[in-house]
Amino acid sequence: MNYVPRKDDFEFVANRNLEIDLNFASQGYWKGVAIHFFKNRIAVAGSIIVSLIILFAIFAPILSSYDYHEIISVNDSTGKEIIARSLEPQIAGDSTDFFADKTFLFGTDDMGRDLWTRTWQGARVSLIIAFVAILIDMIIGTSYGLISGFFGGTVDNILQRFIEIIGSIPTLVIISILAIFMDKGIGLVIASLLITEWIGMSKIARAECLKIKEREYVLASRTLGAGSFHIIFKQILPNTIGPIITQVMFSIPVAIFTEAFLSFVGVGIVLPQCSLGSLIEAGFNNITVLPYQILPPISVLALLMLGFNLIGDGFREALAPKLEDM
Amino acid sequence: MTKYISKRILMSVLTLFLIIFVLFVLIRIVPGNPFPVERMSAEMILQKRAELGLDKPILIQFVDYMSLLLSGSFGNGTSLYNGAPIKPILLACLENSFKIGVLSILFGTIVGLFLGITAALHRGKFLDGVCTVVSILGVCIPSYVFMIFLQYFFSYKISFFPYFFDPSRFLFSAIMPSLSLSLFAIATVARFTRNEMIEVMNSDYVKLAESKGLYGFELMRRHVLRNALIPIVTVIAPLVVDLLTGAMVIEKIYGINGVGKLMVDAIAGDGIDYNYVLALGIVFSSLYIGIMLLLDILYGIIDPRIRLSAKEAA
Amino acid sequence: MNKKLLSMLTLGAVALFSGCGDESASNGKLSVMLDSNVVSLDSAQCTDSPSFELIADCIDGLMQLDPDGKAIPAIAETFEVSEDGKTYTFHLRDAKWANGDPVTAEDFVFAWRRHCQKAEEYSYIMGSTVACVKNADAVIKGADPSTLGVSAPDSKTFVVELDAPVPFFPALMAFPTFYPVNEKFYNSLDEGTYGTTPETFLSNGAFVLSNYLPGTANIQLKKNPDYWNADKVLLNDWQYQVVSSSDNALTAFKNGTLNLVTINGSQIEHVNKDPELSKQLTSVESGALSYLSFNQDPKNHHAGALSNANLRLAISNAIDRESLTDNYIMNGSKATYTAIPIHFAPNAKTGKFFAEDQNKYSEYVSFDVNKAQDYLNKAKSELNKNEFELELIYANDAGNSTVKVVQAIKSQVESNLPGVTIKLQPMPKAEYLDKVTTNSFDIALTNWVPDYDDPMTFFTLWTTSGSEICEHWSNSDYDKIIEDCTIGSLAADYDARWNAMYNAEKILLENAVIAPLYTNANAMLISPNVTGIDFHVAGVNRVFKYAKLKSND
């Protein structure tokens, strides 16, 4: 049986739509990343957690009936001041106690201040620190490490020795010297993070770069005449994104606790300002007597970290699509 | 390689020299006197400073210090704050911190690797979630808070572990502090191992190895772990330095005579004990530099494609 | 999930170590908490109360204090004072050092000369503001130590010459700086090793060290069988444990690991809810005064305003001291309205404490918002300024109530004095000391621990030359009174000196050079089976020589 071609079997080449893959090819890289990211339910859950914490950090202190530094007190019949010290979480009731008509969702601290307000106020400071740490890591740490690893030789040697020098000076010494020129407070903490925070990240980026720069595609790129910085930031960086995101996730709590430690020794943020770290420190002093005081800051921090980690995982997968079967 | 290493060692010595210089200068800028002054008159403070040679130009002080250091003594060999000799105390403290540090590194890497590998093999399943939560808690709960929990349960509630550090039963009393210290290491190692393993397991060469019939432990050992090791080793290295140089709060809570506490007392105490801070700084940075050197050498062993020496890299 | 992992690990640990018994650390041994490290066992170098305490456990001086703080003989069996009160002759008893050497007058001469010569922080106590030992100031500044006014005519007689009569001199002899050091033993040691191990430290007192290293958290002591008063010493061996977290201290006390601990305010509330524990709670006054120092230097960048007395008075009167002690510190510390702490420095004749009358200066120091605002308005019109931003600096000792106090002061001052803002500046102790001695602060929260039981331990702080904390205040009347009382005409006349000191205090408070806040106390939990510990407000705060531990079988 012979098949006789018919007219329907053919079409004009000129009319063919060449952009077939409507899903991917028509999108920009970042749009693709975004689509990927938001398809990932876990990543979306992470974003929701972090956004909720940010929203609470912004609005809870504003909407609260107390200031974060306000010592809640009443005068008793003899005119003696009584403060709402160390009250466990309570909802306004109508008992005869002094403060029973007030609501303290997280209780009060040992100075009679509302822990709900303070926790969210503290979350503000810690979020700022967290984002600063992310920026420092992403910008300074990554480029420093990639450059050091890629160029190798003398450049690497000098950059790495410089890290060894900076890394060897105790944070306390650095910050005490900065404190001569700056006022104490969050600015000082950020300045000290700027000096040391990115070292861990640069080590990771360098190690990744060392691993990748000998790969075939880098070689190919170089053969085709690509410049060093093009190779570093267009070829190598996207392929190191996994460990970099993981490292960022860890540098957040490290930065938050560095701030807490500095406040603890008296060079961090200035009282009555607070941060999650300093609230944890404060709760720690009374941990077995008043355990409810340390729970809110630790839980918020844990949730924040959970959120960041889920987002980080989502990003890793969205940025390096080979992980997913497309 | 030998040439590379000897060159690196030479560079490290130079770096150490620079570090000592920077630290020497910086620490003299930090406000505060190195000796107790609360009951001294301004005149007496000046007299005391002159006696200690602190009124000389800083470069001359540095030269003096270096010549003493090369003859094997940290400055005049004693604390400027309380006259305590440096070497025996430093050694005693280093010993305690090192032992606990080594224990916590062991805990951290073994448990961390175990958790990370488990998570990677059960990716997206229940066990993976468990490992994620453990590693998130591990970085959120400060080690000293965890330490207090341990103390509360094992020393207070059931009186099993001693309440305070007891050097005569070292291993026994070192368990709680090293466990709490290793928390962060467990978390980081587990997380990095998991993520790296997943990445490597998705790579073509592992798929190829799988298709050739390699599976299970052998596949893990020969292809996956080896390739995932670079970032893992990179995060462990600084952790090793951190853990070996002691943890101030844990040492304070548990009454361990260690270098972390020694350092904070020397900097944040009533005076800034120049001699102690410098001696500790020198020890810490030698350790840091040494481990970083080791790390660079390890890279080459783990992944033979990596070359660090200048000629080959260019 | 963490717990699951934890219990797994513990099971492993239990299996591994089940062989080791569960003997608790104390085990029928007295265990006492120290809240900070012992700085040094060298009596010329130590500066802190844990060191004083440990040295006093191990070394006896010429005199010791009875439970009421009166001087009673220790190494000196008797002593005589010359007519003019300027020469003391101590006759030593047959006491021995732990290595068998007799304790001789030369040991004292050696120690005293050495202390002056070393010119460490506490050598000031030999000088003209306190003990007035002849030529001490010159030796501290570098003169030949043999010119110091001490001598040993024979090995059992120790003679001290003073520049002026010192009414509290015998009690001063219980202070560690005046303790002896065995010259032969000291010279046999390597330079700088004295007092760094049990082997390099020599006791002549109730206890000898059995385990010690500088900076160590655990210090073991045992009874010295050669102690001259060994019959009265009831403890055989006991220990100190440095505990930095008071939370830890409380739980360790509850399970019997420690027998004596200091706890903080929040824990006291918890303890008071427990009928059994609350019986073991005692509040011991420490004699330390917390106060605000105002920097009056008009040239200081923003302190300028504080050279105005009305502004200082306004701040002093705007602080509710009762609220500070009852609401924030809560450990038995007492609100104080005088420059001298309460329950301190009893008059030798009447037995009344110097600051017994807390209302004596209520005109200048009180809590009265209206008055404070009047002062503030005066200050505003005098300075022609409506807003004052002042920096309050303080040393940030963790776990201390200081942090709470400064925040409360900020809150009180800002709400009671419109226009005044307080900026809190915490800093490490070294930086704090640097700031207060170099005149770069506005207001400093100072906590002064007295060295001896006499008001002068405070009054010398505010003289023009007493520059430890630089208030930048100078008043010739005040200086004159203090000089008269220490080395001048009034030193020999007890009553006149006493009254003159009240005049000095008045000058101080009417000018609001300082704003006294509260007299510190320590809340301690002491096991009921521990008795015989003496507490003192000055010098060595706790004496364990005659302490007793009933075994609780």
Partner residue facing B306 (CB), from A180, A210, A249: A210
Average pLDDT over residues C193-205: 90
Asked if the structure places residue A25 within a domain, the reply is: no
Question: CB count, 10 Å around CB of C230?
Answer: 11
Q: Which residue has the tokens 């005066």?
A: C378
For the purposes of burial, counting CB atoms within 10 Å of the CB of B118, is it exposed (0-12), middle (13-18) or buried (19 or more)? middle
Contact between A111 and C265 using a beta-carbon 8 Å cutoff: no
User: Domain range holding A271?
Assistant: 41-63+121-325
What pLDDT is stored for residue C88 in this prediction?
Answer: 93
**pLDDT of B314:** 34
Within an 8 Å CB–CB cutoff, is residue A233 touching chain B? no
Give pLDDT tens digits for C288-320: 899 998 888 877 656 578 888 899 999 999 999
Q: What is the DSSP string of B141-192?
A: S-HHHHHHHHIIIIIIIS--S-SS--GGGHHHHHHHHHHHHHHHHHHHHHHH
Q: Residue C477: how many CA atoms within 13 Å on its side-chain side?
A: 10
Mean pLDDT, residues B233-238: 83
Q: How far is residue C79's CA from residue A294's CA, in Å, rounded to a whole number?
A: 59
Its sign, for the CA torsion A132, A134, A135, A136, is: positive
User: In the 8-state DSSP scheme, what is residue A270?
Assistant: P
CA C366 to chain centroid, in Å, comes to: 26
pTM score: 0.86
Among candidates B132, B309, B314 on the partner chain, residue whose Cβ is nearest the Cβ of A309: B132
Give whole-number Cα distances, C303 to C311, C365, C428, in Å: 11, 21, 21
Q: C123, C429, C456: best mutation site toward chain B, by most B Cβ within 10 Å?
A: C429
For residue B314, which residues of chain A lie inside 8 Å, CB to CB? 152-153
Which amino acid type is present at position B18? L
Residue B84: CA count within 13 A, CB half-sphere: 26
Backbone angles phi, psi at A172, to 5 degrees: -65, -35
Distance (Å, whole) CA A175 – CA A194: 11
Q: Which residues contact B181 (CB under 8 A, 6 or more apart)?
A: B100, B101, B104, B108, B143, B243, B247, B250
Chain A 260-299, residues with CB within 8 Å of chain B CB atoms: 260, 265-266, 280, 284, 287-288, 294, 298
Q: Are residues A249 and A307 in the same domain?
A: yes
- Whether A53 and A60 have beta carbons less than 8 Å apart is answered as no
For residues A80 and A58, membership in a common domain is answered with: no
Q: What is the DSSP letter of A38?
A: H
B-facing residues of C in 416-435 (CB < 8 A) are 428-431, 433-435
Say whether both A243 and A127 belong to one domain. yes
- Beta-carbon neighbour count of residue B278 at 10 Å? 20
Instruction: Output the pLDDT for position A16.
Output: 56
- Give me the CATH number covering residue A196: 1.10.3720.10
Residue in chain A lying closest to B305 (CA): A214
A112 C-beta neighbours (distance < 10 Å), count: 22
Interchain CB distance below 8 Å, C270 and A289 = yes
Annotate C447-479 with DSSP letters as a single string.
EE--SSSSTHHHHGGGSSS--SS------HHHH
Which subunits count as partners of chain B given 3+ CB pairs below 8 Å?
A, C
Nearest residue on chain A to B230, alpha-carbon basis:
A207
Q: Which of A164, A250, A306 is closest, CB to CB, to B292?
A: A164
Instruction: Find out whether C308 and C295 touch, Cβ atoms under 8 Å.
Output: no
Q: Which residues of B touch A232 (CB under 8 A)?
A: none
Q: How many residues does chain B have?
A: 314
C140 within 8 A of C132, measured Cβ to Cβ: no
Enter the DSSP assignment of A234: I
- A227 & A299 share domain: yes
Give the separation between CA C55 and CA C74, rounded to whole angstroms: 15
CA distance A46 to A52: 10
Residue C553 has pLDDT above 50, yes or no: no
Contact assignment for B145 to A294 by CB distance below 8 Å: yes
Q: Is residue A296 part of a domain?
A: yes
Is the Cβ pair A270, C426 closer than 8 Å? yes
Query: Tell me, what's the pLDDT at C9?
Result: 44
pLDDT for residue A105:
82
Buried b (16+ CB within 10 A) or exposed e, C373-399: bebbebbbeeeeeeebebbbbbbbbbb
**pLDDT band at C18, cuts 50/70/90?**
very low
Report pLDDT digits (tens) over C117-160: 888 888 888 988 888 899 988 998 888 989 999 999 999 999 99
Residue A132 Cα distances to A140, A169, A186, C146, angstroms? 11, 21, 11, 63
Q: Which residue in the set B192, B281, B288 is minimally distant from A164, CB to CB?
A: B288
| Burial zone of C552 (CB within 10 Å; 0-12 exposed, 13-18 middle, 19+ buried) | exposed
A153 occurs within a structural domain: yes
Residues with Cβ < 8 Å from B128, sequence gap 6 or more?
A: B119, B120, B122, B194
Mean pLDDT of B168-186: 88
Q: What is the C-alpha to C-alpha distance for residues C114 and C140, in angstroms, rounded to an integer? A: 10
Whether residue A178 is found in the same domain as residue A240:
yes
- Indicate if A130 and A80 belong to the same structural domain: no
Indicate the range of A37-51, B20-34, B52-66, B209-223 predicted with least confidence: B209-223
CB contact under 8 A, B30 and A173: yes
Residue of C366 and C18 predicted with greater confidence: C366
The DSSP symbol for B93 reads: H
CB B239 within 8 A of CB B184: yes
% pLDDT > 70, chain C:
92
Query: In the A/B pair of chains, how many CB contacts fall below 8 A?
Result: 155
Boundaries of every domain in chain B: 93-313
Tell me the H-state helices in B202-307. 204-211, 216-219, 226-244, 248-254, 259-268, 274-302
List the 282-341 stretch of C: residues with Cβ below 8 A of B: none
Mean pLDDT of C28-45: 88
Tell me which of C22 and B87 has the higher pLDDT: B87
H or E, element range at A320: none
Successive 10-residue mean pLDDT values, chain A, 326 residues: 74 60 58 79 87 90 83 78 78 68 81 88 89 89 90 86 86 83 84 87 87 82 83 82 82 82 76 84 82 86 84 77 46
Answer whether C327 sits within 8 Å of A83, measured CB to CB: yes
Smallest Cα distance from C407 to chain A, Å: 6
Q: Dihedral sign for Cα C520, C526, C528, C532, please.
A: negative
Q: What chain B residue is nearest to C41 in terms of C-alpha separation?
A: B82
Same domain, A277 and A221: yes
Cβ-Cβ contacts under 8 Å for C86 (sequence gap 6 or more): C161, C162, C163, C164, C165
Q: Is the CB of B40 less than 8 angstroms away from the CB of C431?
A: no
C7 pLDDT above the threshold of 50: no
Q: What is the CA radius of gyration of chain C?
A: 25
Asked whether residue A51 falls in the same domain as residue A91, the answer is no
Using CA coordinates, name the residue in chain A closest to C396: A266
Calculate how close chain C gets to A285, using CA atoms only, in Å. Answer: 6
Interface probe for A, chosen from B135, B195, B273 (most Cβ of A below 10 Å), is B195
User: Can you say how many angstroms the Cα of residue C90 is from the centroid of all Cα atoms in its chain?
Assistant: 27
> DSSP characters for C176-189?
GGG----HHHHHHS
Per the CB < 8 Å rule, is B163 touching C252? yes
Nearest-CA distance C353 → chain B (Å): 25
CATH topology of domain B93-313: MetI-like fold (1.10.3720)
Structure letter (DSSP) for residue A126 = H
Q: Select from C278, C280, C285, C250 the least CA-distant residue to C264.
A: C250
Facing residue for C266 by CB, picked from A70, A81, A86: A86
Distance CA A236, CA B227 (A): 17
Distance from CA of C380 to the nearest CA of B (A): 34
pLDDT per residue as tens digits for the range C80-120:
999 888 999 999 999 999 999 999 999 999 999 999 988 88
Chain B contacts in chain C segment 250-289 (CB below 8 A): 251-252, 254-255, 257-258
DSSP 8-state code for residue C120:
-
Q: Which residues of B touch A306 (CB under 8 A)?
A: 133, 136
Q: Does A193 fall in a domain?
A: yes
Question: Closest-CA residue in chain A for C404?
Answer: A111
Nearest C-alpha neighbor of C388 from the set C429, C349, C421, C350: C421
Region of B147 on the Ramachandran plot (φ > 0 left; ψ -120 to 50 alpha; else beta) = alpha
| B79 contacts B72 by C-beta, under 8 angstroms | no
Check whether residue A160 and residue A275 sit in a common domain: yes
Nearest residue in chain A measured CA to CA from C274: A289
Give the number of domains in chain A: 2
Please name the residue of chain B whose CA is at the shortest distance from the CA of residue A170: B281
What would the mean pLDDT of C6-12 be, rounded to a whole number?
A: 44
Contact B156 C254 (CB under 8 A): yes
Alpha carbons C290 and A162: distance in angstroms, whole number: 46
Domains in chain C: ranges and CATH: 60-186 (3.90.76.10), 286-521 (3.10.105.10)
Kindly report the nearest CA distance between residue A36 and chain C, in angstroms.
Answer: 30
Q: Minimum mean pLDDT among B134-138, B159-163, B226-230, B286-290: which range?
A: B226-230
A223: closest CA of chain C, how far (Å)? 52
- Which chains form contacts with chain A, at 3 or more CB pairs under 8 Å? B, C
Query: Among C121, C199, C200, C241, which would you mutate to test the B interface (most chain B Cβ atoms within 10 Å of its Cβ)?
Result: C121
Pick from C327, C404, C428: CB nearest A266: C428
Flag whether pLDDT at C394 surpasses 60.
Answer: yes
List the single best residue of C18, C218, C464 to mutate versus B (max B Cβ within 10 A).
C218
Interface test with B, best of C437, C447, C462 (most B CBs within 10 A): C437
Kindly state whether residues A163 and A295 are assigned to the same domain.
Answer: yes
Task: Note the pLDDT tens digit of each residue in B255-280.
Answer: 888 888 888 888 877 788 888 889 99
CA–CA distances in Å: residue B278 to residues A291, B28, B190, B273, B289: 40, 11, 35, 9, 16
pLDDT computed for residue A21 by the predictor = 55
The confidence score (pLDDT) of residue A23 equals 54
Asked, for residue A32, whether it belongs to a domain, the answer is no
Is C348 an interface residue toward B (CB < 8 Å)?
no
Chain C residues with CB-CB distance to A179 below 8 A: 427, 431
Indicate if A240 and A93 belong to the same structural domain.
Answer: no
Going by pLDDT thresholds of 50, 70 and 90, the confidence category of residue C5 is very low
Q: Tell me the mean pLDDT in the region B209-230.
A: 75
pLDDT recorded at residue C208: 93
Same domain for A200 and A101, yes or no, is no
Asked whether the beta carbons of residue A152 and residue B308 sit closer than 8 angstroms, the reply is yes
Rounded to whole angstroms, the Cα distance separating C181 from B198 reads 69
Per-residue model confidence (pLDDT) at position A15: 58
State in Å, rounded, how far the first CA of chain B is from the last one: 16
